[in-house]
Structure 1
Amino acid sequence: MNVAEPGSAELAVLLPGTGSDEHFVRAVFEVPLAAVCVRAVTPRPVPGPMLAQACFDALDEAAADRPVIAGGVSFGAHLAAEWALAHPNRCAGLVLALPGWHGTPGDAPGAVSARASADLVRSLGVEGALAVATDGVPPWLAHELTRSWRGYGDGLADSLSAAAGRPAPTRADLSRLDIPAGIAACTDDPIHPESVAEEWLTALPRATMCTTRLDIVGVDPEALGRAAVLAWLRAGGS
């Protein structure tokens, strides 16, 4: 398999997680990547059943002239790895935060949560679902959900379902990605278990992992990006 040279990227395309948006993924990654002279591109999600394809289109466009680093948070991390598998000569590395599962979603906590959220939106509408989803959660998370879910509008339920139903790369798939990969996990995140990130770490040939905590990310979103970028550097990214 021909792969891109690890040190050849000056651009990273970062994809948001399930029901999240470009604002959060930018807050996570932009400054940590700038510190290593990599510019972050954070495409706005296209709501609806074509959500994943729109992400792939953004990666294709960015990588038209030179290899790029691909990455994202949660579902965005899955899509980044999926794209890298399809375009190994165009991906110079991976920065992956909070992968939620590998292979079929099954009863992975992230998939179960997204399916339940989609049902809630279809039943109560966006505003009604937000009232339920933000009840009792930390203020920072309530703020993120309110902004991003409203941004999806009428396409929110279909977007949540699209993410919940899409298989992530299997461990066998991940074993074919012979490029520097940095993984970030939160030790206190029940939706994105650290054990799943460790399975990605074991499967990827050239990966390292760094951890942080959700309570830190709530105050300092860049902590998640710093963990992923530091892991990528330790894996051989440059």
Structure 2
Amino acid sequence: MTTGTGTPVPRTAVVLPGTGSDEVFVRAAFEVPLAAIGVRLVAPEPVAGPRLAEEFLAALEAAEPPVLVGGVSLGAHLAAQWAVANPNRCLGLLAALPAWNGPPNGAPAATAAQLSADAVRDQGLDGALAIAVDGVAPWLADELTRAWHRYGDALAESLDVAATHTAPTLAELATLDMPTGIATCADDPVHPAAVAHTWAKALPRAAVSTTRLDIVGHDREALGRATVLAWLRAGGRV
């Protein structure tokens, strides 16, 4: 679809989940905020295992262009990777909680994913889950419990993928001349706000909106709203 001036506007957004998460969280966070601007959400289900990243990229490839693409954490990295390779098929990027750029190099999210993968292998899914949810907010514990059990026996391999995946470099991000909305949580040490702002500085047309994990705990849509608002501020058209 186009505006009255002939400018294409998105009607579909494909949004990918983050490490050890699932499409249930993506729908809870993004479906209503996207619907508010007339965009239909497509939230692919994770295909757990060593081909996790390839299957998510295939879901983006299957979308009818032009589309918005996006994701949370690892999902944001994969969406940006696809957009770099397919700029003419993409009307913008929604990047919630980017965790690093280029190789992970000990980034907190990558380290957490690898430690969790090791724990799954050493102590089984339930033992690793008990470690992962110890001391975290109840809402996050509930999210992890649901999603990790859905990954089942392929959880460790899926976490390996997340821990070792190379995100787009800053030079690659600099080629993305499209509106990009980035959301960060000020109280999230695993996805530092500094990474979000580093992405924004590299991207030609980007804006950052900030929320908090304790707000997302009460209102999942807060993360989606922050990302969509940033995309609109970056020049997204509807």
Structure 1 length-normalised TM: 0.96
Per-residue deviation at 1:6? 6.7
Partner-residue secondary structure (3-state), 2:87: coil
Alignment of 1:50-199 (within 5 A): 50-63=51-64, 66-199=65-198
Per-residue deviation at 1:133? 1.1
Letter in 2 for 1:46: V
- Give the aligned partner of residue 10 of structure 2: 9
Alpha-carbon distance in 1 for matches of 2:211, 2:8: 26
Segments of 4+ in structure 1 off by > 4 A? Answer: none
Per-residue deviation at 1:101? 0.1
Aligned length: 232
Deviations 1:102-146 (A, max 9, x none): 000011000000000000011111111111111221110000000
- Give the aligned partner of residue 209 of structure 1: 208
Question: Where in structure 1 are there 5+ consecutive unaligned residues?
Answer: none
Letter in 2 for 1:43: P
Q: Is the 8 A contact 1:47 1:152 kept in 2?
A: yes
Farther-moved stretch of structure 1 (44-53 vs 5-14): 5-14
Alpha-carbon distance in 2 for matches of 1:80, 1:143: 26
Deviations 1:206-234 (A, max 9, x none): 00110000100111111011010001011
Q: Is the 8 A contact 1:7 1:237 kept in 2?
A: no
Letter in 1 for 2:98: P
Partner-residue secondary structure (3-state), 2:84: helix
Question: Where in structure 2 are there 5+ consecutive unaligned residues?
Answer: 1-5
Structure 2 length-normalised TM: 0.96
Identity %: 63
Letter in 1 for 2:13: A
Per-residue deviation at 1:35? 0.2
Partner-residue secondary structure (3-state), 1:8: coil
Alpha-carbon distance in 2 for matches of 1:145, 1:151: 10
Alignment RMSD (CA, Å):
1.0
Deviations 1:37-66 (A, max 9, x none): 000000000001100111111111113xx2
